[in-house]
Amino acid sequence: MPDGATASIKGKRIKSNNLIAREMRERDYHICKVEIPMYERYDKAVENNDAEELAWFAQFGTEKWENQMITNARAYEQYLLCGYKGEPVFNEHGWLENGRCNDLKEKSELVAVFKDDQYRANVMILQHPNGKWIATAEYNFSISGGGAYPSIWSKQYPTRRDALNAVLDSLINHIENSTVQKDKKYLSVIRKMRGTTCQLSLFDNFE
């Protein structure tokens, strides 16, 4: 939404950008800005008494736990957009299990970028059933570290190489901006992997 725009959510007017946070606090719970379209879709179903649409939402929760229902519905739609199939599955607390990060990690290809006693960087690459590729990294440097598991929300790329290069670019950027000079020791390794079209097993000596 452009700055100053509003959206109707359960009878309230929700503004964009810096105004949205203040009006979110007026609710019993916080709403993520990215979830507003799903709330609008649910409101429309309620207003129109759309039985089919309301039945679809009902499988994800109840109005009493509306935030859980909306979050589940949005995640399940993303799960389907990634090309996965299957009915919604929930844990004992009512949260959607489909497309869990841990499950996607298990299916991912693990690529070792570099590793020694102090430094480590791995890339996890996965192709969704829709044909798109995703990649995430986990890394440890001298005084910093980070990472993320593959997710249905990860940015998707048309090819494996595009996904891998995007993560390597992120690692390069992180190291280049580091104020610790010894963190830059593996820059050449990452840049070489970034540019190569050879098999990644060429870098097995860093495992």
Do 194 and 132 belong together in one domain? yes
Residue 32 within any structural domain of the chain: yes
- Taking the CA of residue 177 as centre, how many other CA atoms within 13 Å lie in the half-sphere pointing to its CB? 7
- In whole angstroms, give the CA distance from residue 74 to residue 40: 12
* Strand 120-127 versus strand 6-9 pairing type: unpaired
Taking only the tens place, the pLDDT of each residue in 114-166 is 888 888 999 999 999 999 999 999 998 877 788 899 999 999 999 999 999 99
Residue 86 within any structural domain of the chain: no
In the predicted model, is pLDDT for residue 18 greater than 90? no
Taking only the tens place, the pLDDT of each residue in 167-205 is 999 999 988 888 888 888 888 899 999 875 444 433 443
Helix axes 187-195, 160-176, angle to 10 degrees: 160
Residue 89 within any structural domain of the chain: no
Residue after which a domain boundary falls, among 35, 51, 81: 81
- In whole angstroms, give the CA distance from residue 186 to residue 121: 10
Do 166 and 195 belong together in one domain? yes
Q: Please tell me whether residue 110 adopts helix, strand or coil conformation.
A: strand
Residue 1 within any structural domain of the chain: no
Residue 50 within any structural domain of the chain: yes
Residue 52 within any structural domain of the chain: yes
Do 164 and 74 belong together in one domain? no
Residue 11 within any structural domain of the chain: yes
Do 192 and 112 belong together in one domain? yes
Total domains in the fold of the chain: 2
Residue 96 within any structural domain of the chain: no
Do 113 and 191 belong together in one domain? yes
Residue that has been written with the tokens 């048309």 in this structure: 158
Least confident segment among 50-64, 86-100, 187-201: 187-201
Residue pair 33/20 in contact by the 8 Å Cβ criterion: yes
Domain that holds residue 45: 6-81
Residue after which a domain boundary falls, among 81, 110, 133: 81
Do 201 and 127 belong together in one domain? yes
